[in-house]
Structure 1
Amino acid sequence: MKKVLMALTNVDHYLEHPERKTGVWLEEAASFYDVLTKNGFEVVFASTNGGPIPIDPASADVSENIQKIVDSEKFSQGMKGSIPFEKIDPKEYAAIYFCGGHGAMWDFPKNEKLIDLAETIYSNGGYIASVCHGEAGLVNLKDADGKPLVQGKKVNGFTNEEEKLNGTDQMVPLSPENELIKDGADFVKGDPYTEFAVEDQRLITGQNPMSVHKVAEMLSAALK
């Protein structure tokens, strides 16, 4: 059974605005897990520090189907006991998925262990996927030649426009869209808050929470 690493944030609040809570966007973890496991893949939960994963309170009100996944024993165990990135062997994984939630913007971009995991999985012929703010994990990735991994590739994620509509554009530590464009990516996008995903050279990226199911299906098909 092929293994897929789900990278999750441990950050539970906006670091410059502690009153504003964040974490993982619940559906982006649950829907991805559901699709991948139903397609026969093992999904391993991992994070910077390991242990419990914070859930963005704004994402806690989910559909009945998503709630069933959230309440399932294996998903619940994964969210309560994620494995630290430093204990993950990248050679065991066919893909890594950067799960979104605003928290990822603080602990993904400069996380050397996470960067090493993603670069190794990709260099071994594996896939990198992301949804929404999981795009922060694509920032600072390099290819075997030391060039930005996204250079010349179509990618997307939560857009500057969506961040502004969300009222958080002045609260986040960086603009992943700007950073990826700066690294030479072809940042493509759909309309705000609509499903949109793109695949290019073993990178599969989705724009927002509405796109997670599509990204999961695209990754499942690619890994088969």
Structure 2
Amino acid sequence: MKNILVVVTNISKYPNQERATGLWLGEAVHFVDEMEKEGYKIVYVSPKGGYTSIDPHSLQPDQMTELDWQYYSNDDFLNKLGATLSAEDVNPEDYDAIYYTGGHGVMWDFPNDEKLQNIASKIYDNGGIVSAVCHGTVGLLNIKNAVGNYLIAGKKVVGFANTEEIALGLDKIVPFLTEDELVNRGANYVKGEDWAAFAVVDDRVVTGQNPASGGAVAKGVLKLLKSAR
């Protein structure tokens, strides 16, 4: 099968601020690059389908690596971001794993999207992997397993830390704090150093803390996929 579903946001502006948002570029790029090097096909999906904007803050020189620039200069990659599938167009049977990218916009369209939740739940029930990075972990908040319990309850997970949100000055702007809500769903929240790459694996749930962690999540996902062969 060897297909990976990468979830991106449709939110391009903070609903409560005159501030742009969108996909945090590096969080897609560093995960996708690791998976593509191992021969996996990447399919992009968003709640509504169609265009996903790139958060302009993720394009600042201090955020961009050489790899980020390679993808940002790649028309094929950008065209895929401009024409994502909608959740209703996705057959969960076709995918080995789902990966939720971040960017602050996801806090408004990931948590309550039941179609994406059902896709993730079915991928997991089929023996696949559910993964996320940074704010993308809010996509995991309301996923339930086959018996109706929260998927992340009792599992070790990580996501964007309260201390990192406060450092950005956005803790009063976002609708909730990622770390707090992961804990509220019964997850065993752990964290690494602020802004450093950090990811954890528990069963078939792989999560990363911040924008630096996409590659670390990919490595965790790949280790699980290889062990399942």
Superposition RMSD on alpha carbons, in Å? Answer: 1.1
**How far is 1:49 from its partner?**
1.6
Stretches of structure 1 that go unaligned for 5 or more consecutive residues are: none
**How far is 1:74 from its partner?**
3.0
Percent identical pairs in the alignment equals: 44
**How far is 1:176 from its partner?**
2.2
Specify the alignment match of 2:192 in structure 1: 190
More strand by share: 1
TM-score by length of 2: 0.94
Given that residues 99 and 131 in structure 2 are in contact (C-alpha distance below 8 angstroms), is that contact kept between their aligned partners in structure 1? Answer: yes
**How far is 1:71 from its partner?**
2.0
Does residue 1:14 correspond to 2:14, yes or no? yes
Specify the alignment match of 2:218 in structure 1: 216
How many Å separate the matches in 2 of 1:174 and 1:123? 29
Given that residues 29 and 67 in structure 2 are in contact (C-alpha distance below 8 angstroms), is that contact kept between their aligned partners in structure 1? Answer: no
How many Å separate the matches in 1 of 2:97 and 2:67? 25
Could you list the per-position Cα deviations for residues 88-132 of structure 1 after superposition, in whole angstroms to 9, with x for gaps in the alignment?
A: 001100100000110110000000111111111111111011010
**How far is 1:155 from its partner?**
0.2
How many Å separate the matches in 1 of 2:76 and 2:225? 22
Stretches of structure 2 that go unaligned for 5 or more consecutive residues are: none
Could you list the per-position Cα deviations for residues 165-199 of structure 1 after superposition, in whole angstroms to 9, with x for gaps in the alignment?
A: 11100000112211221111100001111111100
How many Å separate the matches in 2 of 1:157 and 1:13? 22
**How far is 1:73 from its partner?**
3.7
How many Å separate the matches in 1 of 2:80 and 2:172? 33
Specify the alignment match of 1:206 in structure 2: 208
Runs of 4+ displaced beyond 6 Å = none
Specify the alignment match of 1:45 in structure 2: 44
Given that residues 108 and 137 in structure 1 are in contact (C-alpha distance below 8 angstroms), is that contact kept between their aligned partners in structure 2? Answer: yes
How many Å separate the matches in 2 of 1:43 and 1:223? 15
> Which has the larger displacement, 72-81 or 34-43?
72-81
TM-score by length of 1: 0.96
User: Letter of the aligned partner of 1:10 in structure 2?
Assistant: N
Secondary structure of the corresponding residue to residue 22 of structure 1: coil
Specify the alignment match of 1:127 in structure 2: 129
